[in-house]
Amino acid sequence: MFRRILVANRGEIALRVIRAAHELGVETVAVYSKGDEGAPYLDLADEAICIGPAASALSYLDIPRIIAAAEVGDVEAIHPGYGFLAENAHFAEVCRSCNVTFIGPPAEVIANCGDKARAKELARSAGVPVVPGSEGTVDNVEEATRIAAEIGYPVIVKAVSGGGGRGMRVAHNEVSLRSGFSSAQAEAAAAFNDGTVYVEKFVENPRHIEVQILAGADGEVVHLGERDCSVQRRHQKLIEEAPSPALDDDTRARIGAAAVAFAKAADYRNAGTVEFLLDKNGDFYFIELNARIQVEHPVTEMVSGIDLVQWQLRIASGEPLDFGQDDVQLSGHAIEFRINAEDPERNFAPAPGRIEVLALPGGRGVRVDSHVIAGYEIPRFYDSMIAKVIVYGKDREEALRIARRALREIRVEGPGLATTTGLHLRILGQAEFVNGAADTSFLERYLES
Ligand code: ADP
C-alpha cells in the first residue's frame, strides 16, 4: 500500500478520499486553490498545498501545478476524484512519466473509454447492445440527416468528449437536427475543447441504469450491482438509488454480465461505471463507461458493504480483488439525494453564500458525505453540491421513510442561500417516484407542471 497520496480535487470528494486513505493508514496531501483557502476539510489532510488562483484552469486543472505539488508533498500516488482531471488520459500519462501512480485506469483505457463513439464500438465488439446510431463520429450535418433518416427520429446529437449532460441536443425532425447539430458542436467545443459529435437514436423516456464495476490489478472484474439514476434535470442526476426498482432478476443478471463483458473488452482496471439506458420494453443499451469514481458511489457501498475508494487505492497499489462475483452480497436499499446550493424556484440558479446555520441529518440509516460546516462560505467558482445525503433501509419503503425524516432535519441558512432540499421532499411526495416508476423525463415533467 502507498505511504502517502495526493488528492487532486476539492470539496466532498476530496474529503471522501482523505477518509478512505486514513482508514487504510495512508497519509494524505490535499491541494487547494485560493478560492478554497481555509476550507475546514483541508485541516483533515496531513498536509495542504496551495496550487493557484480560484479559476480551475489555473489550479485544479493545471497539470504542471498538480505534479509540482506531488513533488513537494513527496507522494507516491494521486487520486483525481471525479471531474477536473479524473478522466484526463494525458494527466494519467504525465503521472506515469513522473513515476507517480495515477489512482484509476491506465491512460490508454481512459482514452478508449473517454471517447464515447470509440467506447460504443468497443461495446459492439464485446457483444454488448448499444443504442443504434452512427458508426463512429459524424463530421457534418448532411451525414447526420442521412443517419437520422435511416434510424428514424427522434435522434440525439452527443459530444464524443461529453460529460455532465453537456453537448447534447435532441432532434425530433430534420429542421431541429440541422440547428441542434451545430449547437451541440459549439457547446462541446466550448466545454470540452473538442467539438466532435456522433448521432444516436433518442430512446424515449428511458431509465438510466448503471453498473458499478471493480477490476483488480490482475484484470479480474466483478460488478457490484446497478444504480438507477433516472431522476435527472437537463441530463444531470439529482437522486440515485440501488437497487433499481425497474429491473427484474433476469435483466439484472444480464446487465451485470454485459458490464463485466465490456470492462474485460476494455482491459479495464480499478473502479468504473458502465452506463445503460433501459427502454420501455425492458431492453438495455450501453451508452458510456465512466472511468472514475462517481458522485453516487455511496449507494453501492451501502448495499454491498464494500468501500469503493479504498479498493481504488488497493488496486492502484497492485492488489488483485480478494473476492469473486459469487462473494458479492447485495442487501437492502439505498437512496442518495444531492444537496446543491441552487434555487429550484429560480431555475436552479447557483445560490452560494456563507452558511450561518447548519444542521445535517443523522440517526439510523443515514450517511452524510459533506465538507461543509457552519461558518463555511460556499465558493462561487465551483460545483454547487454541498452535501450528499444517503439513506439506507432494509427495503425501498423503509429507505423512503428514513429519507423523508432525514431531509426534514436539514437546515442550511445564510444570506442568499438556497438548496435543493425542499425539492427532494416534494419529489418524495410524488406517486410516480414513490412507486419506483420515474424515468429520465420524470423530473422535468414534474417541474413544468
Ligand atoms: P454525460 O456523460 O454528459 O452524463 P450520458 O451519455 O451519460 O452523458 O447521458 C446522460 C443522460 O442523457 C442519460 O442518463 C439520459 O438521460 C440522456 N441520454 C443520453 N443518451 C440518450 C439517448 N440515446 N436517448 C435518450 N436519452 C439519452
Which atom in ligand 1 lies closest to the alpha carbon of residue 164? 3
Whether 40 and 157 map to the same domain: the answer is no
pTM of this structure? 0.97
Whether 78 and 28 map to the same domain: the answer is yes
Whether 91 and 170 map to the same domain: the answer is no
pLDDT, mean of residues 262-272: 98
Whether residue 120 lies inside any domain: the answer is no
208 lines ligand 1 (CB under 6 A): yes
pLDDT band at 419 (very low <50, low <70, confident <90, very high): very high
Helix residue spans in 77-200 (DSSP H): 89-97, 107-114, 116-125, 141-151, 174-192
Q: Which residues contact 266 (CB under 8 A, 6 or more apart)?
A: 109, 112, 113, 119, 122, 289
Q: Output the CA 377–ligand 1 centroid distance in Å.
A: 33
CATH number of the domain at 146, please: 3.30.1490.20
232 lines ligand 1 (CB under 6 A): yes
pLDDT, mean of residues 320-349: 98
Whether residue 123 lies inside any domain: the answer is no
Which of 287, 439, 440, 441 to mutate to test ligand 1, by most ligand atoms within 8 A of the CB atom?
287
Q: Output the CA 170–ligand 1 centroid distance in Å.
A: 10
Whether residue 188 lies inside any domain: the answer is yes
Whether 319 and 420 map to the same domain: the answer is yes
164 lines ligand 1 (CB under 6 A): yes
CA dist., res. 275 & res. 164, Å (int): 13
Q: Output the CA 206–ligand 1 centroid distance in Å.
A: 10
Which of 120, 153, 168 to mutate to test ligand 1, by most ligand atoms within 8 A of the CB atom?
168
Nearest CA to 80 out of 70, 72, 71 is that of 70
Assess whether 292 carries a catalytic annotation.
yes
pLDDT band at 163 (very low <50, low <70, confident <90, very high): confident
Q: Which of 252, 269, 292, 367 is catalytic?
A: 292
Asked if residues 48 and 75 have their Cβ atoms less than 8 Å apart, the reply is: no
Q: Output the CA 256–ligand 1 centroid distance in Å.
A: 19
CA dist., res. 21 & res. 7, Å (int): 10
Element at 227 (helix H, strand E):
strand 221-233
114 lines ligand 1 (CB under 6 A): no
Out of 201, 223, 251, a domain closes at 201
Domain hosting residue 348, numbered range? 207-448
pLDDT, mean of residues 215-233: 98
* b/e burial code for range 286-296 (CB count within 10 A of at least 16 → b): bbbbbbbbbbb
pLDDT, mean of residues 191-206: 94
Whether 395 and 307 map to the same domain: the answer is yes
Q: Output the CA 210–ligand 1 centroid distance in Å.
A: 11
Whether 279 and 196 map to the same domain: the answer is no
Whether 195 and 211 map to the same domain: the answer is no
CATH number of the domain at 24, please: 3.40.50.20
Whether 281 and 351 map to the same domain: the answer is yes
- Coil vs helix vs strand at 369: strand
Residue 193 has pLDDT above 90, yes or no: no
Whether 221 and 243 map to the same domain: the answer is yes
Which atom in ligand 1 lies closest to the alpha carbon of residue 288? 6
Whether residue 13 lies inside any domain: the answer is yes
Whether 387 and 331 map to the same domain: the answer is yes
- Coil vs helix vs strand at 171: strand
pLDDT band at 447 (very low <50, low <70, confident <90, very high): very high
CATH number of the domain at 261, please: 3.30.470.20
What would the pLDDT profile of 12-69 be if each residue is shown by its tens digit?
A: 999 999 999 999 999 999 999 999 999 999 999 999 999 999 999 999 999 999 999 9
- Look at residue 162 in the predicted model and tell me its pLDDT: 87
200 lines ligand 1 (CB under 6 A): yes
Which of 235, 292, 445 to mutate to test ligand 1, by most ligand atoms within 8 A of the CB atom?
235
Please count the CA atoms within 13 angstroms of the CA of 204 that sit on its side-chain side: 6
Residue identifier of the C-alpha nearest atom 1 of ligand 1: 163
| DSSP letter string, 306-361 | --HHHHHHHHHTTPPPSS-GGG----SEEEEEEEESEEGGGTTEE---B--EEE--
pLDDT averaged over every residue in the chain: 97
Q: Output the CA 108–ligand 1 centroid distance in Å.
A: 24
Query: How many domains does the structure of the chain reveal?
Result: 3
Whether 222 and 191 map to the same domain: the answer is no
Whether residue 110 lies inside any domain: the answer is no
Out of 201, 226, 257, a domain closes at 201
Residue identifier of the C-alpha nearest atom 15 of ligand 1: 235
Asked if residues 85 and 63 have their Cβ atoms less than 8 Å apart, the reply is: yes
Which atom in ligand 1 lies closest to the alpha carbon of residue 237? 14
Out of 201, 217, 241, a domain closes at 201
156 lines ligand 1 (CB under 6 A): yes
Q: Output the CA 358–ligand 1 centroid distance in Å.
A: 34
Whether residue 295 lies inside any domain: the answer is yes
Whether residue 112 lies inside any domain: the answer is no
Whether 77 and 136 map to the same domain: the answer is no
Whether residue 47 lies inside any domain: the answer is yes
pLDDT band at 223 (very low <50, low <70, confident <90, very high): very high
Q: Which residue has the cell 471517447?
A: 115
